[in-house]
Amino acid sequence: MPLPAAAASGHPVEPTRHRFLIVRYDDYSPVVPYRRVSVGVELERRIFELFRRYDARLVVGVIPFPIHDQTVPRRTLVSTSADASWLSDPNDPWVRLLREYVGLGTVEAALHGLEHRRRSPAGHRPGEFRWQSPQWQHGALRLGRDVLASAIGRPVRVFVPPWNAWDDATARCLATLGFDWISPDFHPIDAPIGTIRVVPQCASDVESVFEWMRSAKPPPPGAIVVLTTHPFDFEGDQAEANLRSLEALLAHVAASPEWACVGLSDLPRRSLEEWRRRWRAALIWHGSRRLLDDAGIASSFVRDDRATCYAPEEWYRSRQIPWRLAVGATAILSLLVGWVGSRAMARYGFRTRGGSRMVGYLAAIGLVVLVLGAAEIARHGYVIRGVRWQAICVAVGATLGFLIRRRRGVREEHDKDARRWRTPPSTPDMRPIAHSR
Ligand SMILES: [Zn+2]
């Protein structure tokens, strides 16, 4: 394995000193899934050359069996041989380019799915691997890995799932197939113990990362920024501007004693457990941030916005207590709003018993609808937004307010009845009839 890019440039990579920029270039293949056309390899050569010039490394996500069109019949693993892949032709210009820059140490080849086919049902979060059977995932990963490894002449250790979508079965299959790294996004998926190191995508806009790097306070040493790019970022009207931004970013990193542009396998090889703890801490922090963002609190909470990066575990840990407290306080406040609102409605809006009961039933129905909606969102593979959690808390508060009031009402009624039957009859119509003459 060649030396990490930063090491080659005379700046040895030090986890205690460096921050890491990882640039992903997804969808490397002679056919483009979203454009339905075959394209030349000139753009890729230009990009690879740019990275070589700055002694930087580029993570290239390779699609072994790309499809032009999502509607072409599905490939079965049993009937698919390695020869069916463009990677098995050593004279293919795309294969030659890949081999050349992998050999130079500029490119780290990653497996980017099998066909890049959207296998999730319509309406669900797009993905090729997520929620597919473990048998299929294992077979697809093994086939893709073998084809890519034989094309580049070295083992494949990195997996970049199409649409960043994966699940725990993906992690288990990757571990048994010798993969070390996966680069998805911050979608909350737990990596099972002892499987894989997760390094998520942090940004997808070259210019914004460059701006952030220049203007923001540097993140702590060991922080990682994964910038995902695609061929379409360097085509069309914005092509030249984006290439210039990329060059400026690489020049900035090359000149910086703090930053290094590396591949995933150049990252510090800490234990799987350490990487797993970091991933879990990041998920909790990002989940809290998402909840608070929706409540309009996060932007004032995070004064120096270092959330663009994947920070070291300690960074997340040191912030977990205040963020958890803020989430807890937001939930309690939302509950109180619902509770006080339902009480106020019952007392001042609907003075009759029927009216107040209607408020309670409406709150309970709202709660059921919101919870069922949340379950449906999760079933489709999406994250439930903070605003929905807040609405659920408000509905819980309103329903509780109604139930407590109702119980108290029943108890008071009961006490009243008990008092009525205990006290001697005093009303005139209950008095024994006096016989008078
Ligand atoms: Zn892709």
Is 437 within a domain?
Answer: no
Nearest 5 degrees, angle CA 2-CA 265-CA 289? 150
**Which of 231, 252, 269 is the last residue in one of the domains?**
269
Q: Are 399 and 360 in contact (CB under 8 A)?
A: yes
Is 305 within a domain?
Answer: no
pLDDT tens-digit series, residues 358-394? 778 888 899 999 999 999 888 888 888 888 888 999 8
Mean pLDDT of 212-221: 84
CB atoms within 10 A of CB 99: 17
Question: Phi/psi at 230 (nearest 5 deg)?
Answer: -135, 165
Q: Are residues 335 and 239 in the same domain?
A: no
CA–centroid distance, residue 158 to ligand 1 (Å): 14
Q: Are residues 323 and 264 in the same domain?
A: no
CA–centroid distance, residue 304 to ligand 1 (Å): 31
CA–centroid distance, residue 202 to ligand 1 (Å): 16
Q: Are 169 and 130 in contact (CB under 8 A)?
A: no
Q: Domain count of the chain?
A: 2
Q: Are residues 102 and 203 in the same domain?
A: yes
**Least confident range of 72-76, 139-143, 312-316:** 72-76
Q: Are 306 and 219 in contact (CB under 8 A)?
A: yes
CA–centroid distance, residue 112 to ligand 1 (Å): 7
Q: Are residues 195 and 323 in the same domain?
A: no
Q: Are residues 250 and 366 in the same domain?
A: no
Q: Are residues 75 and 195 in the same domain?
A: yes
Is 372 within a domain?
Answer: yes
CA–centroid distance, residue 405 to ligand 1 (Å): 55
Q: Name the burial class of residue 185, with classes exposed (0-12), middle (13-18) and buried (19+) by CB atoms within 10 angstroms of its CB.
A: middle
Is 14 within a domain?
Answer: yes
pLDDT tens-digit series, residues 20-56? 999 999 999 998 766 645 567 899 999 999 999 999 9
CA–centroid distance, residue 167 to ligand 1 (Å): 17
Nearest 5 degrees, angle CA 34-CA 38-CA 42? 105
Q: Are residues 229 and 89 in the same domain?
A: yes
* Calpha distance 232→145 (Å, rounded): 25
How would residue 2 be classed by pLDDT, with cut points 50, 70 and 90? Answer: very low
DSSP string for 106-170: SEEEEE--SS----SPTTSPP-SSTTS-HHHHHHHHHHHHHHHHHHHTS---EE--GGG---HHH
CA–centroid distance, residue 161 to ligand 1 (Å): 7
Q: Considering the entire predicted model, what is its pTM?
A: 0.85
**Least confident range of 6-10, 89-93, 173-177, 314-318:** 6-10
* Calpha distance 73→63 (Å, rounded): 17
Share of the chain above pLDDT 90, in %: 50
pLDDT at 9 (0 to 100): 43
CA–centroid distance, residue 63 to ligand 1 (Å): 8
pLDDT tens-digit series, residues 230-257? 998 998 888 899 999 999 999 999 999 9
pLDDT tens-digit series, residues 317-341? 888 888 888 888 888 998 998 888 8
CB atoms within 10 A of CB 417: 10
CA–centroid distance, residue 319 to ligand 1 (Å): 33
Is 234 within a domain?
Answer: yes
Q: Are 79 and 129 in contact (CB under 8 A)?
A: no
Is 83 within a domain?
Answer: yes
Q: Are residues 32 and 133 in the same domain?
A: yes
CA–centroid distance, residue 292 to ligand 1 (Å): 30
Q: Which of 130, 277, 279 is nearest to 198 (CA)?
A: 279
Q: Are residues 99 and 201 in the same domain?
A: yes
Is 433 within a domain?
Answer: no
SS (H, E, C) 33-83: CCCCCECCCHHHHHHHHHHHHCCCCEEEEECCCCCCCCCCCCCCCCCCCHH
Q: Are residues 132 and 256 in the same domain?
A: yes
CA–centroid distance, residue 26 to ligand 1 (Å): 5
CA–centroid distance, residue 347 to ligand 1 (Å): 57
378: which 2 tokens?
A: 């999760």
CA–centroid distance, residue 234 to ligand 1 (Å): 15
> Range of 227's domain?
5-269
pLDDT at 358 (0 to 100): 79
* Calpha distance 80→76 (Å, rounded): 6
**In terms of DSSP H, where are the helices of 104-167?**
134-152
pLDDT tens-digit series, residues 114-138? 999 999 888 888 999 999 999 999 9
Q: Are residues 142 and 255 in the same domain?
A: yes
Question: Phi/psi at 260 (nearest 5 deg)?
Answer: -140, 135
Instruction: Examine the pLDDT at 351 and tell me if it is beyond 60.
Output: yes
Instruction: Examine the pLDDT at 342 and tell me if it is beyond 90.
Output: no
Q: Are residues 324 and 262 in the same domain?
A: no
CATH of the domain at 222: 3.20.110.20
3-class secondary-structure state, position 203: strand
Is 287 within a domain?
Answer: no
* Calpha distance 142→159 (Å, rounded): 11
CA–centroid distance, residue 59 to ligand 1 (Å): 13
